[in-house]
């Protein structure tokens, strides 16, 4: 059988949220490639080799997957959430574009997954119910000045905003700066959702006004969603519901 590469999303954490399409690809694979904690979510079995690597070697990981597929292996490159959202799909295609011409003849497919942004929004209600944007707050691959520009423009456009990678041990100051930018740009105390480890046993949800949001409320397992000026909170006996009306 000729080799192929599938770039698959494992969803936000709960195994029930892995799509049947992704499960079928994993069942057919000879090799799984990915970041260490994501590969750990794939059950070992006879005939399957797991290739786990560090988070900062995405292009090497992608090239390894393409090289194995060119040798006839059936390779699944795994990401959490959706592979096309700040994840491995772009890295694989970047490696493909720069790599040998023979790689372009490979069967390469992207299988979507439920990304953390959508899982968090669903748990809280519907904060992304109208126009929204997603911004990666990590400055590992882009300068902070660009992140700040995009934050200000998104606030000026009155988008709801979903933030990936808000705060890590190596860059604890970035999210604090992002909150300062938003407070300067937004005149209202719009609601902010902190959704940590959604769909896992460690899940925690908190909704606070922007004025009360603090950097320590987020870490790398937290999805942060900042509402637009129209986003509302409905108090119910089962807890608050966060939603953005469909009209502006």
pLDDT band at 248 (very low <50, low <70, confident <90, very high): low
Residue 172: the pLDDT is: 76
Residue 127: the pLDDT is: 98
Is the pLDDT at 135 greater than 90, yes or no?
yes
Across 169-191, average pLDDT: 88
Residues sharing a CB contact under 8 Å with residue 139, sequence separation 6 or more, in sequence order: 147, 171, 174
At the topology level of CATH, where does 117-243 sit? 3.30.950
**2/72 Cα distance (integer angstroms):** 5
- The two three-digit tokens of residue 14, written as one number: 């709960």
Across 40-67, average pLDDT: 94
Tell me the CATH class for 4-114: alpha beta
Residues of the chain with CATH 3.30.950.10: 117-243
Q: Mind listing the pLDDT tens digit for each residue in 93-107?
A: 999 999 999 999 999
Residues of the chain with CATH 3.40.1010.10: 4-114
Is the pLDDT at 169 greater than 80, yes or no?
no
Q: What is the pTM of this model?
A: 0.91
């Amino acid at each position: 059988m000729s080799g192929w590469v599938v770039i698959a999303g494992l969803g936000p954490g709960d195994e029930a949220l892995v799509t049947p399409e992704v499960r079928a690809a994993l069942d057919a694979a000879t090799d799984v490639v990915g970041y260490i904690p994501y590969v750990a979510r794939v059950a070992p079995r006879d005939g399957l080799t797991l290739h786990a690597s560090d988070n900062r070697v995405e292009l090497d990981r992608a090239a390894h997957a393409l090289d194995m597929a060119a040798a006839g292996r059936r390779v699944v490159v795994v990401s959490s959430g959706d592979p096309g959202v700040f994840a491995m799909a772009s890295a694989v295609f970047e490696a493909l574009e720069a790599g040998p011409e023979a790689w372009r003849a490979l069967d390469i497919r992207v299988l979507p997954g439920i990304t953390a942004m959508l899982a968090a929004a669903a748990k809280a209600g519907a904060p992304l119910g109208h126009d929204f944007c997603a911004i990666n707050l990590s400055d590992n691959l882009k300068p902070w000045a660009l992140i700040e520009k995009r934050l200000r423009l998104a606030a000026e456009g009155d988008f709801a905003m979903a933030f990936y990678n808000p705060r890590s041990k190596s860059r604890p100051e970035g999210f604090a700066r992002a909150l300062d930018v938003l407070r300067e740009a937004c005149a209202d105390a719009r609601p902010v959702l902190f959704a940590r480890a959604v769909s896992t046993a460690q899940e925690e949800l908190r909704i606070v006004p922007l004025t009360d949001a603090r950097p320590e409320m987020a870490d790398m397992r937290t999805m942060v969603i900042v509402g637009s000026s129209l986003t509302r909170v409905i108090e119910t006996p089962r807890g608050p519901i966060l939603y953005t009306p469909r009209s502006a």
